[in-house]
Amino acid sequence: MFGQLLLGVAGNSGVRRLVTGSTLSRPVVARFIAGDDVEAATRAVRDLTRGGIAVSLDRLGEDVTTPEQADDTVAGYSELLDRLSGEGLTAGNEISIKLSALGQGLGPDGPRRATERARTLVERAHAAGVDVTVDMEDHTRVEDTLETVRALRADFPRTGCVLQAMLRRTEGDARDLAHPGSRVRLVKGAYNEPPEVAYPAKADVDKAYVRCLRTLLDGGAYPMIATHDLRLVNLAEELLKGRPAGSAEFQMLYGIRAPEQQRLARQHAVRVYVPYGTDWYGYFSRRLAERPANLAFFARSLVAG
């Protein structure tokens, strides 16, 4: 409930202007965002991969309002892929794309055009040896997003998908996606959803997360276990015991629980989700809402500044 309240406040345009316009915000944002440009993103990839941790790169900018902005997203990711290729940083890494940033919400034809742009990126990433995972957004976009993933997987079966355990429908989606070779990032969910479509209680979300993880593992899928909840991390490690190496990977966000990332990397495949770009507000506000500790860190930093 606290997270939903915070997301509601963060959605206020006045609050957005206050946070994005404050010079005090930038050092705090830098904890969670690699930087503004491809150079900063590449630097983060180099640093993480030296420690044996793979990367998923997210070019921020989900709130596009014109087709030209959606095309800019494609161009930006293409520049990133060229840079990774040029520096020999493609192996084992991936990009994460949001269909809203590719124009999914731009009118009745938006989902089709977003799928076309996503296909362009998947083709370019595939040629570079980089995987792609399609991020999941709020519940109103789930069906269109899953349809895009199905279309992309027809030609590029390694295309990853994201499922949010907080949504009541997700257990059914997990059953549909639980087959060999299916790359699925399982998250709790960070959007402000109504109770008729999402579990409002954290305990229910956690139970759904474990049920979905079991379903994916038992079906032979490749779960990407994305959580900072150490209790869920420990439960996942128990579920992986006795299963073949390479059955799953753990994922965490850039700037959060770095020591745990390093611990896990000694025994499991680990990937860090690295966002970069100037349009960071939506991502940043969701990170604050997910964990009260993040908000406390933000508040202390502003006071100290």
- Active site members: 135, 185
Which distant-in-sequence residues (6+ apart) come within 8 Å of 180 by Cβ? 219, 220, 221
Distance of CA 161 to the CA centre of its chain: 10
In the 3-class helix/strand/coil scheme, how is 127-175 assigned residue by residue? HHCCEEEECCCCHHHHHHHHHHHHHHHCCCCCCEEEEECCECCHHHHHH
Distance of CA 123 to the CA centre of its chain: 20
Task: Quote the DSSP letter at residue 244.
Answer: P
Which distant-in-sequence residues (6+ apart) come within 8 Å of 258 by Cβ? none
Q: How many CB atoms lie within 10 A of CB 278?
A: 12
**For tokens 């009541």, what's the residue?**
168
Which of 275, 223, 280 lies closest to 247 in space, CA to CA?
Answer: 223
Pinpoint the alpha helices (H) of the chain. Answer: 2-10, 13-21, 25-32, 38-50, 67-86, 110-128, 142-153, 170-177, 202-218, 230-240, 258-265, 281-290, 292-304
Q: How many CB atoms lie within 10 A of CB 87?
A: 11
Which of 258, 209, 256, 253 lies closest to 231 in space, CA to CA?
Answer: 209
